[in-house]
């Protein structure tokens, strides 16, 4: 199978997922509610008590990139459940009987999770603007953030699909999703800087891909200091690639 | 004639079970071949191996001369598949369901449009093409699944329990379509079924499958005449019936201690009066006697020693399918 055909298979699977969203857009807006509450309730309160050192920036500025990333991973981390569900419905067998390779199907699905995240990200940025949170919005920073959001969705949805190939049912996936989500979010720089963490937690947070996603988004949207963007993007791309490969290998196991 | 499928000594072993246990068969191009057997006989596993979804433990598979183990992709390009479970997506329209599959088979745009229109018309779905699939009835979903599997004009069509869970009308509609496919387009079809009538109606040849093995292969008519006579069912209030009948020298197909027996007889109309007299002479009161031509069920009984419906697991499969359908709503 040549590369062109492979990529077109990836995009067709993504198209399938996007067509579902187009028929039911409410799911996107409902998923914006929680991050919106983080900004308006948690963010507004914490910026009043000034408990968290955020340098030259307001707390709301600081946390907006964190909430952006959070809104994407909280959806992506449960993506494996969708895959297990589709297996139970018999949709996957049929997809795999087409010439599209399993890895193209996985990549298409994880890309769809990324694109889905994009809609949420746009809604959150609009909300941030309404709340008069000062963000750097240049064509370059917007394109950069979009790319990071898509990678973020791909990264965590393939992690979820890889987990689904081991856990193989919805209940366990629900459990593991809940279990991972909390440390993933709080052991990262999403809502407070690494500098206030105890040393052992810093080590964990530095190994957390979310920290790099948030750092990259933050440098583009808030600080404008792009010195660590290169290393951030490298870590994000490598992690995503590894997880997509793991998910592709695991995908057929979900079926048997 | 070209051989569409050649399967040689196929084996699939799972940790706890030999799902497919050394089967071999050949399907010539243009034939409708049925694998008939109860659930758990290994039919679906066989189909999935032929579709390159599962790798066999050992054995060989060739589809139109292509080694399926070495070139799975070339096999998929020419295959169409309708799985046992509902496999259409309820959250998009009927048209979109077909469109996605047409694209996955890499069809150019113009050809795609034309073929989607063709299959929608062929399956009588053009009026509902733009409705969401979760508003479709079970029969319409099945037709849409057929439409999806036909859009790439497969040389080889795999149907896994094509009419399971459908009401009689929808079932007849599917049967007509499947027969038409063979007659008009010469499509080679491999179907699995536990439904005797379906196998009899649709298939040119049948392989009877039980516990991973093919018990016998043949034309339905041949298989039925191979049973060697007609089936005479007899019942009585007297529990000794079966024993007495055997004593009289008749060969029984089935017998039970509650006073019923099925006998295999030749020239049954002439046998009945003699049998009734013989039994009366031994003091046995007869409640009823009936005579029927052998069905595939009797063929199944002859070769496997059990009736196909006895496991009851197929009813479970029906229920499962119904549950799945509800879930897609």
B32-46, B124-138, B191-205, B245-259: least confidently modelled range: B245-259
The radius of gyration computed from the CA coordinates of chain B, to the nearest angstrom, equals 23
- Note the pLDDT tens digit of each residue in B195-217: 889 999 999 999 999 999 999 99
Which value does ipTM take for this structure? 0.90
Average pLDDT over residues A93-110: 92
- Note the pLDDT tens digit of each residue in A162-175: 999 999 888 999 99
Q: Confidence band (pLDDT; 50, 70, 90) for B328?
A: very low
Q: Confidence band (pLDDT; 50, 70, 90) for B323?
A: very low
Residue B286: per-residue pLDDT: 87
Interchain CB contacts (distance < 8 Å): A and B: 74
A88-102, B25-39, B135-149: least confidently modelled range: A88-102
Q: Which residues of B touch A5 (CB under 8 A)?
A: 106
Residue B310 has pLDDT above 80, yes or no: no
- Note the pLDDT tens digit of each residue in B83-109: 988 889 999 999 999 999 999 999 999
Are B92 and A91 within 8 A, CB to CB? no
Are B53 and A97 within 8 A, CB to CB? yes
Nearest CA in chain B to A256: B54
Q: Confidence band (pLDDT; 50, 70, 90) for B228?
A: confident
Nearest CA in chain A to B329: A89
Residue B325: per-residue pLDDT: 45
| Residue among A1, A94, A256 minimizing CB distance to B87 | A94
Residue B315 has pLDDT above 60, yes or no: no
Are B101 and A89 within 8 A, CB to CB? no
Residue A221: per-residue pLDDT: 96
Q: Which residue has the higher pLDDT, B297 or A203?
A: A203
Residue A17: per-residue pLDDT: 93
Are B104 and A94 within 8 A, CB to CB? no
Interface test with B, best of A1, A15, A97 (most B CBs within 10 A): A97
Are A12 and B100 within 8 A, CB to CB? yes
Q: Confidence band (pLDDT; 50, 70, 90) for B171?
A: very high
Residue B326 has pLDDT above 60, yes or no: no
- Note the pLDDT tens digit of each residue in B242-278: 888 888 888 888 877 778 888 888 888 888 899 888 8
Alpha carbons B91 and A17: distance in angstroms, whole number: 9
Neighbours of B30 (CB within 10 A): 17
Three-state SS annotation for chain A: CCHHHHHHHHHHHHHHHHHHHHHCCHHHHHHHHHHHHHHHHHHHHHHHHCCCCCCCCCHHHHHHHHHHHHHHHHHHCCHHHHHHHHHHHCHHHHHHCCCCCHHHHHHHHHHHHHHHHHHHHHHHHHHHHHCCCCCCCCHHHHHHHHHHHHHHHHHHHHHHHHHHHHHCCHHHHHHHHHHHHHHHHHCCCCCCCHHHCCHHHHHHHHCCHHHHHHHHHHHHHHHCCCCCHHHHHHHHHHHHHHHHHHHHHHHHHHHC
Interface test with B, best of A24, A25, A90, A252 (most B CBs within 10 A): A90
Are B79 and A94 within 8 A, CB to CB? no
Q: What are phi and psi of B20, to 5 degrees?
A: -125, 125
Residue B2 Cα, gap to closest chain A Cα (Å): 24
Residue A90: per-residue pLDDT: 79
Residue B1: per-residue pLDDT: 63
Residue B309: per-residue pLDDT: 61
Residue B160 Cα, gap to closest chain A Cα (Å): 12
Residue B312: per-residue pLDDT: 46
Q: Which residues of B touch A100 (CB under 8 A)?
A: 104
Do residues B210 and B301 touch, judged by C-beta distance below 8 A? no
Mean pLDDT for chain B overall: 88
Nearest CA in chain A to B45: A256
Name every residue whose Cβ is closer than 8 Å to that of residue B127 and which is 6 or more positions away in sequence.
Answer: none
| Residue among A1, A93, A256 minimizing CB distance to B87 | A93
The radius of gyration computed from the CA coordinates of chain A, to the nearest angstrom, equals 18
Are B92 and A8 within 8 A, CB to CB? no
Residue B226 Cα, gap to closest chain A Cα (Å): 38
Residue B311: per-residue pLDDT: 47
Are A89 and B324 within 8 A, CB to CB? yes
């Amino acid at each position: 199978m040549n590369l062109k055909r492979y990529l077109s298979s990836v995009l067709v699977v993504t198209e399938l997922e996007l067509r579902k969203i187009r028929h039911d857009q409410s799911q996107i807006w409902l998923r914006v509610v929680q991050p919106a509450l983080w900004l308006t309730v948690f963010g507004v309160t914490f910026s009043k008590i000034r408990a968290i050192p955020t340098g030259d920036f307001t707390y709301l500025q600081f946390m907006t990139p964190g909430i952006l990333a959070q809104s994407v991973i909280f959806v992506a981390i449960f993506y494996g459940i969708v895959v297990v569900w589709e297996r139970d419905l018999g949709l996957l067998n049929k997809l795999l009987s087409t010439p599209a390779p399993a890895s193209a199907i996985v990549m298409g699905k994880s890309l769809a999770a990324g694109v889905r995240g994009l809609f949420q990200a746009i809604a959150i940025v609009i909300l941030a603007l309404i709340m008069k949170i000062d963000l750097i919005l240049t064509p370059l920073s917007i394109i950069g953030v979009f790319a990071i959001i898509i990678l973020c969705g791909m990264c965590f949805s393939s992690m979820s699909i890889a987990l689904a190939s081991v856990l193989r049912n919805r209940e366990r996936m629900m459990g593991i999703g809940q279990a991972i989500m909390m440390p993933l979010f709080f052991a990262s720089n999403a809502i407070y800087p690494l500098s206030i963490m105890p040393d052992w937690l810093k080590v964990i947070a530095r190994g957390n891909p979310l920290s790099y996603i948030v750092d990259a988004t933050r440098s583009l949207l808030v600080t404008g200091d792009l010195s660590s963007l290169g290393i951030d993007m490298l870590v994000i791309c490598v992690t995503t690639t590894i997880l997509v490969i793991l998910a592709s290998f695991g995908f057929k196991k979900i079926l048997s | 004639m070209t051989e569409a499928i050649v399967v040689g000594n196929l084996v699939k072993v799972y940790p706890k079970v030999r799902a497919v246990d050394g089967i071999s068969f050949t399907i010539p191009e243009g034939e409708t071949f049925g694998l008939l057997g109860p659930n758990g006989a290994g039919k679906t596993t066989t189909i999935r191996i032929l579709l390159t979804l599962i790798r066999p433990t050992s054995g060989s598979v060739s589809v139109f001369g292509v080694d399926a183990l070495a070139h799975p992709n070339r096999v998929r390009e020419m295959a169409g598949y309708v799985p046992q479970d509902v496999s259409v997506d309820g959250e998009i329209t009927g048209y979109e369901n077909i469109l996605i599959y047409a694209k996955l088979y890499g069809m150019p745009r113009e050809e795609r449009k034309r073929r989607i229109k063709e299959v929608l018309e062929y399956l009588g779905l053009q009026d509902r093409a733009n409705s969401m699939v979760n508003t479709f009835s079970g029969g319409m979903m099945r037709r849409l699944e057929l439409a999806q599997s036909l859009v790439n004009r497969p040389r080889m069509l795999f149907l896994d329990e094509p009419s399971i869970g459908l009401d009689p009308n929808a079932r007849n509609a599917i049967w007509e379509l499947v027969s038409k496919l063979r007659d008009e387009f010469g499509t080679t079809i491999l179907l699995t079924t536990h439904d005797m009538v379906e196998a009899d109606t649709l298939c040119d040849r049948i392989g009877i499958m039980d516990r991973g093995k093919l018990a016998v292969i043949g034309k339905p008519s041949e298989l039925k005449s191979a049973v060697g006579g007609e089936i005479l069912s007899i019942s009585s209030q007297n529990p000794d019936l079966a024993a007495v009948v055997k004593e009289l020298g008749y060969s029984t197909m089935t017998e039970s201690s509650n006073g019923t027996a099925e006998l295999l007889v030749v020239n049954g109309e002439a046998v009945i009066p003699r049998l009734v007299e013989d039994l009366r002479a031994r003091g046995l009161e007869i409640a009823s006697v009936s005579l029927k031509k052998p069905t595939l069920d009797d063929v199944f009984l002859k070769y496997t020693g059990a009736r196909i419906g006895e496991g009851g697991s197929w009813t479970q499969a029906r229920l499962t399918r119904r549950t799945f359908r509800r879930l897609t709503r």
